[in-house]
Structure 1
Amino acid sequence: MTTPTSSEYDLWMRRFHQAPDSKVRLLCLPHAGGSASFYFPVSAALSPEIEVLAVQYPGRQDRRTEPSIGTVAELADQVHRMIRTLDDRPLGIFGHSMGAILGFELARRLEADGRPPAVLFASGRRGPGTHRDETVHLRNDDGLVSELKGLSGTNTALLGDEEILRMILPAIRNDYRAIETYRRPEGEPLSSPIVALIGDDDPKSTVEEAKAWSDETTGEFTLRVFPGGHFYLATQQKAVLAEITDRLGATAG
């Protein structure tokens, strides 16, 4: 596996705030259709005590002219290539929705390297071994927009702008295809602790389905249930940030 150039790294990894003296690092992975900027408030709140890195997937914002990556496994391979040399401090992973599954796949790769993450925060997603027969990616554009509005994950004002829609829908559809066709590969559970976070009214995962994350680790498992839907993060930011800070702070040594 080749080491990424500095320009490749900068395309993928976004550091919104400097934290040169932090003892721990948090890697943030966006949801389907999401971008690194979703985690700007997280970076602002946690820096400089925790260095926050947010991944920018191809096919959106300043990378919108690049082809999107078609599978979770390939996306995990690419992100793994970017971070595999970041071994100077403990690394936590936070992924929301599709990002939670990507985080799981990334953690598997890091454990194979002999460098398990300090903790995996799996937000807004049922366990990798659960399955629903979902086909949102096969809907027409109106159907896809309806899904987004129902989840309230994208600014609804933007969804009414036809020009912006043309730019973002291909990446969103690709992400939905990647996550809806994902199946957990054979393999042992992680050794890293997992914290599953879920809204109590999330249409994408019941609380019971979120509990299935406990099957994915031989380490400590914690389930946190918050009021709210799929994007409970919008109203529960303070509590979620406290959970992140407490968990990562305990690994700083």
Structure 2
Amino acid sequence: MELLAWGNTELDSSWSVTEKSNCSYIRIYHLTSGSICYSDTAMSCALDTEAVYILPSHAPFTMKPAPGTDTHCTWLHMNIYPVLVKELLSIPYTQKQALLFSLMRCIMEEAYPPAASLSHCAEIFIQDLYQMGCLEKPDPAFSPVLDYLCVHFSEDISISDTARQFGYTPEHFIRKFKKETGSTPYQFLTGYRMGKCCELLRKGYPVSSVCALTGYHDIKTFDRAFKKYHGRTASEYQKYFKKIYP
């Protein structure tokens, strides 16, 4: 599990999220006021203050504040490979959840919020989801494939060679991979690499070193991929989190 980003934010009318493909990480939202209009291929609904919401990591969706509402929310972005979230999850806002999110809001309001404390709170929340059966893991028999990709993520991995190594034809491998993870092998590797990039940047590694350690051959390609995935360049990301991750 990896906590990628967080916030305690007032959402104005210009704010929106449109996820057209698998983003690989999950968004966790709790609204303290207002409402958000959510829509995916199967449903449309309003997100409100009565639940904690887990947004899909492996399905397209859109959301924006409901018109005429003052919307404020606490949010987390988490990498929880190889867990899948294929649809919107609504978790009742129990007394335990209220205490946990109140604690996280207090931590976020500090001048220099300690990342370790926030990560610990987020992990407690995710473990609760496991215990409630809300999160779906891939077939354990497929774990060796995922473990192999996670170990060799920085190398030039051939999907065809990997498929044959585990006894699949390339076509069957891609179908099986998408069934088990909700993403293609390429999407999985990109998401895993981006999680590692964030980890190394927060530890203070130079951008050039992060580029080399995560399998990118030049800074320009790396920065373009990082900005497409995270919405900011690697240097901007590192600068933003420099004080949060001392």
Q: Give the TM-score of the pair, scaled to structure 2.
A: 0.27
Q: Give the TM-score of the pair, scaled to structure 1.
A: 0.27
Say which one has the larger Rg.
Answer: 2
